[in-house]
Amino acid sequence: MQPFTFYNPVELVAGPGTFEQLGEKVAKLGCQAMLVTGRNAMRKAGYLDRALQMLTDAGVQCVLFDKAIPNPTDELADEGGRLARETNCNVVIGLGGGSAMDTAKAIAVAATHSQPIAEFLVSGPYGQPRIPSAATLPIVCVTTTAGTSSQLTPFAVATVTATRQKNAIAGRNIYPRVAICDPTLTMSVPPRITAACGIDVLCHSIETFINTMTQPLAEAFAQRAISLVAEYLPRAVADGQDAEARQMMSLADIFAGYALSNCGATVLHALEHPISALYPHVPHGEGLAAMLIAYGRMMPSRAPAKLARLAELLGEDVSGLSDEQAAGKAAAGLQALLEQVNLRLRLRDLGVEHESLPRIADDALDYMQRGIAKTPGKLTRDDLIALLEASY
């Protein structure tokens, strides 16, 4: 065994009913909170009012920033950071899915750093993207989806509006202090979003399992997450009130978060970020879904043993097969899962224009190079375009 490091400092509070601990957890970190969420979903579900009441009962004053959007932007984070400074907030809460949590994390940085958030996302005259300092405000995340694992990672994804580049702020200081993962909150998520979020969990897990920088604990978490998604995502999509399926998908999201936080993603995310940067209407999980079958066909020759194990985790019968033979079944397993959750898509179905495929590949090589470099097989520009073409 090679030496390795595993690190995750987040206090995880997980299970049905844990949302009720929000007030007491926040009160230990600050007395003036900014609550970051979207405009409608949390209010409609009743979670926003409940959160505000718990914070009030705990003696925490609250500033509401309900402007989070899918595929959040640097401009939005800078706006939230200014408001947090003006109102003397000393803790930031993200309530919702990945976009709300990533926005909250970016605001926690913007509130305490003089540089615009864009400088933490992409390189510039100052060099590589800046890393958030210890001045970053403490963050509490309440996830209402089983999807992005943002509540457990040192990443906050956002798009730089001026250049249409989508990358992640990265650094240990944006790990949330507390993550609340109450699966009962996910029961209000519609089927299509449930499916897309679940595919994001799956891709986090596959990409960390196959990652050239993976290590034993990350591999163990990733494999468990894959098996849970394969078994329970179709059930959660078919019946949103299936409590066991929701709980197991929440657990899959947690396992994937621990894996992702230590390895980062690879080529799927490296390509999807430029896609949804150029086409902000594309949900992240759907962009990943559109490339997943082609990815499953591309990777067996690059990592046969890992793809063989992936096929097995997805429920394919690989008994008596060599690694090379079993690896060839991974794409079929991925296709079957996508069909079960009604997400067998192509990039064209999402409104991606064929003429933009070379730019997507070039953007991935420009600012998502680390993800490409961690993919087995030393991918070239031609490989990226071939993957995009096969997904189109």
Q: Classify domain 191-391 at the CATH topology level.
A: Dehydroquinate synthase-like, alpha domain (1.20.1090)
What residues contact residue 329 under an 8 Å CB cut-off, 6+ apart? 308, 311, 316, 318, 321
Per-residue model confidence (pLDDT) at position 93: 98
CA distance 237 to 164: 32
Per-residue model confidence (pLDDT) at position 30: 97
Per-residue model confidence (pLDDT) at position 124: 87
Per-residue model confidence (pLDDT) at position 174: 97
CA distance 140 to 60: 13
Domain positions in the chain are 11-186, 191-391
Residue type, 295: Y
Q: Is the Cβ–Cβ distance between 240 and 270 less than 8 Å?
A: no
Two tokens, residue 383: 């490989």
Residue type, 177: R
Question: Is residue 2 pLDDT above 90, yes or no?
Answer: no
240-248 contacts: CB < 8 A, separation 24 or more?
A: 240/187, 240/188, 240/189, 240/190, 240/191, 240/194, 241/187, 243/16, 243/183, 243/184, 243/187, 246/146, 246/183, 246/184, 246/186, 246/187, 247/15, 247/16, 247/183
Q: Which residues of 235-255 are buried (b: 16+ CB within 10 A; e: fewer)?
A: bbbeebebeebbbbbbbbbbb
Q: What is the pLDDT of residues 295-344, one digit of tens each?
A: 999 999 999 999 999 999 999 999 999 999 999 999 999 999 999 999 99
Residue type, 294: A
Question: Is residue 1 pLDDT above 90, yes or no?
Answer: no
Q: What is the pLDDT of residues 190-243, one digit of tens each?
A: 999 999 999 999 999 999 999 999 999 999 999 999 999 999 999 999 999 999
Question: Is residue 34 pLDDT above 90, yes or no?
Answer: yes
Confidence of residue 75 (pLDDT cuts 50, 70, 90): very high
Backbone angles phi, psi at 321, to 5 degrees: -95, 150
Q: What is the pLDDT of residues 109-147, one digit of tens each?
A: 999 999 999 999 999 888 899 999 999 999 999 999 999
10 Å Cβ neighbour count for 40?
10
In this prediction the pTM is 0.96
Q: What is the pLDDT of residues 153-184, one digit of tens each?
A: 999 999 999 999 999 999 999 999 999 999 99
Per-residue model confidence (pLDDT) at position 137: 98
Q: Classify domain 11-186 at the CATH topology level.
A: Rossmann fold (3.40.50)
Count of positions (residues) in the chain: 392
CA distance 106 to 132: 9
Per-residue model confidence (pLDDT) at position 199: 98
